[in-house]
Structure 1
């Protein structure tokens, strides 16, 4: 199937943006590097001597991509944010969010998102150094103004606050407005699990979903997540559900464009409201189908779940909502997204929460599979498997055009490119 956005056009677009990014690059050299900084052992990699034309083999992917250590990806992303004016702490929070997504195999919400965030900062649509503020609160609730900060900064602030309140009252519920795209919803719900609590997170997004029966988009992909601790001791783990209320997140369509592969029927509609398998047509139309697809396959349930998220985030938080949120990748309006974070202390409820979760999860995993060799999984299992694979191979494998576009970005900003451990 021929696509209208092959890698060659992708590179042309990136090169077109190079001049714009260079205008933002400063002479700052204070973007310190943690863990693996190639320049510490190789003077040839100093910022003033970055390769400008021929790609050094250390930055060139193989036909199957390139292996990059997690620490190196975090260093690269942090440097990029610092270069466009972001403070080191905020830059690191956003970088850790994106690396966490790629580590779990959610490439649609990782490095793939970097340039969109940088563009929002460059166009002054997001305050890279904003600090969230509590506007009103009770012992168990709070309303937070995100102050147009980076999504990870707002999300981390709000979930920490929800956890603190839950430790005192059993439940903490924090709603934020004036926020930005916060990436992978499960990143925040998992924070509660680390202290033995159940965590939930929700966000509204730019209108991308066509309500059942409608021809135009009016709601976002509106993801939701719940994470819960399982078991005790060395066998302790986490149940993590993280899902869009559309059939898939828009980023999954972007990944199919990068792979030059079609999308399954039921993911999206074209501009006439007809189902399409062309990822470029789907991306341009911005008409995602609700979870369940068409009405006859229960798409109205995904539509209803999107409304649930919108009520908790946009309506409850006093942010923009539904069709009144800016268009995705808009370059002339702040996002003002609404987000909701909940922490629940299981000790305030029925006894043996962890053990009961372990019993349920074990029962589900041990069920006879329909297809031999494909065991029954629970939410969080695929991500756990991907993290174990990344640990074994010593890093994250990125597609060739992702490596190359990141290299172009590094050159345009004047930061060190990602060092490839191994070509694939």
Structure 2
């Protein structure tokens, strides 16, 4: 890894953008740039990084006595400069939705996933980013790829039905990709709901399945109410506990309204999803107080410490009714890990639950997650469901806001707004650190770079 000075620019090879700061000898002042216009970083298809000198650079940097020099000789200096540098929140890169989708599919195929399964995964991840949930889109690609590459997730597996009735089913995911399992289960629930009014499907032997709302909305496309739940790795400390015992255990409900409108609730049962803390860690930002505990069970605003400690249940501390979030997390665990899972202390295969689920990002054993999918046909109940749904949502939206600049919204409105923004701007804008921390480069996957490097549309 080295800096190479070539006339009008300095090229840094084999490095990630988020980790690099120009040596102080290249700057007339040691204050690092703080705005996009001050930064001259350029991410190229060859995965090289260029810093374009401007008027703030010395015309003849005294440290560049040779054409190139090793970063190792300047490690401490660069580390000091990096510590001073905080990328602004609006520093980002924009990519076409289709290009992001292609990149994800190609990466998963490169680690041995059949294209149909890779496509199912990419559909969910791109939907997350398109809807503004950056914690569950491109940010998650590394986890899925590593699981398949390490063979703790079977990228080619398909789920099977192990037990069913006219309105219920128990499915085994066979350790397949979560979105492959989730799509199968919700489609099965919808099929049963068409016949009996309700379909309730639980699965075990699954993996992380992305945003829970994806599967709930899959039912709403058929005019049904959809619900989706999953347990996850233990990350959340029960109220009064120091250590985690439950997952973030998200739940989702999607309900159809008139004229294509719908209510889409998609929420973790903790204060914040772990992915949001990961995003703040990547940005090197502090996290709000009340999100997490450190490894000693004390509140922290340090994202890295929060990742090593535990998240707080929805509501936060006991004083702020965190026990309600704790209860909701248990509800999801009952639907997912307990209802579908194995008998305690027996060898019967089945989903894990609570503290028995493998640790976050652990790759030495299968995840064996439990999940639950429900589809309800409202026509089996009182007529006029969509009319009443629209009336309630529109009433809330039309209420006078305490802050004129912040209108009252219904669940799903922020996501629709973000999707419209992506459409208007012609692409998804990612924070620069999300792009530069991508693990799926040509060297890691041993694939031609021109086929697997995101084609950049607009920098800054």
Q: Is the structural similarity TM-score above 0.5?
A: yes
2:392 maps to which of 336, 360, 367: 360
Root-mean-square deviation (Å): 2.0
| Pair 1:72 & 2:72 matched | no
Which residue does the alignment assign to 2:29?
none
- Structure 2 spans left out of the alignment, 5+ residues: 1-14, 21-44, 53-86, 342-350
Q: CA deviation at 1:411?
A: 4.0
In structure 1, what is the Cα distance between the partners aligned to 2:251 and 2:96?
29
Which residue does the alignment assign to 2:278?
254
Q: CA deviation at 1:260?
A: 1.8
| Pair 1:373 & 2:411 matched | no
In structure 1, what is the Cα distance between the partners aligned to 2:179 and 2:133?
16
In structure 1, what is the Cα distance between the partners aligned to 2:145 and 2:185?
23
- Deviation digits for residues 137-187 of structure 1 (CA, Å, limit 9, x no counterpart): 011000000000000000000000000000000000000000000110000
Which residue does the alignment assign to 1:324?
356
Which residue does the alignment assign to 2:8?
none
Which residue does the alignment assign to 1:17?
none
**Structure 1 residues 145 and 56 mapped into 2: Cα distance closer, same or farther (>3 Å)?**
farther
| Pair 1:178 & 2:173 matched | no
SS at 1:406's partner residue? coil
Which residue does the alignment assign to 2:171?
144
Q: CA deviation at 1:196?
A: 0.3
**Structure 1 residues 198 and 258 mapped into 2: Cα distance closer, same or farther (>3 Å)?**
same
In structure 2, what is the Cα distance between the partners aligned to 1:236 and 1:329?
38
Q: CA deviation at 1:240?
A: 0.2
- 5 Å-filtered alignment, 1:258-407, equals 258-285=282-309, 287-318=310-341, 319-406=351-438
| Pair 1:51 & 2:46 matched | yes
In structure 1, what is the Cα distance between the partners aligned to 2:292 and 2:150?
30
In structure 1, what is the Cα distance between the partners aligned to 2:104 and 2:304?
27
In structure 1, what is the Cα distance between the partners aligned to 2:352 and 2:227?
21
- Deviation digits for residues 87-121 of structure 1 (CA, Å, limit 9, x no counterpart): 01000000111000000000000000000111111
In structure 2, what is the Cα distance between the partners aligned to 1:101 and 1:11?
26
Which residue does the alignment assign to 2:260?
236
Which residue does the alignment assign to 1:420?
456
| Pair 1:127 & 2:158 matched | no
Which residue does the alignment assign to 1:81?
108
- Structure 1 spans left out of the alignment, 5+ residues: 1-6, 13-49
SS at 2:170's partner residue? strand
Equivalences, count: 374
Say if 1:411 and 1:417, in contact at 8 Å, map to a contact too: no
Higher relative contact order (CA 8 A, sep 6+): 1
In structure 2, what is the Cα distance between the partners aligned to 1:327 and 1:407?
21
- 5 Å-filtered alignment, 1:1-40, equals none
Say if 2:337 and 2:353, in contact at 8 Å, map to a contact too: yes
Which residue does the alignment assign to 1:33?
none
In structure 2, what is the Cα distance between the partners aligned to 1:92 and 1:298?
41
Instruction: Extract structure 1 runs of 4+ deviating beyond 4 A.
Output: 7-12, 52-57
**Structure 1 residues 410 and 8 mapped into 2: Cα distance closer, same or farther (>3 Å)?**
closer
In structure 1, what is the Cα distance between the partners aligned to 2:300 and 2:100?
34
1:205 maps to which of 232, 240, 247: 232
Say if 1:407 and 1:418, in contact at 8 Å, map to a contact too: no
Considering fraction of residues, name the structure with more helix: 1
In structure 1, what is the Cα distance between the partners aligned to 2:248 and 2:432?
28
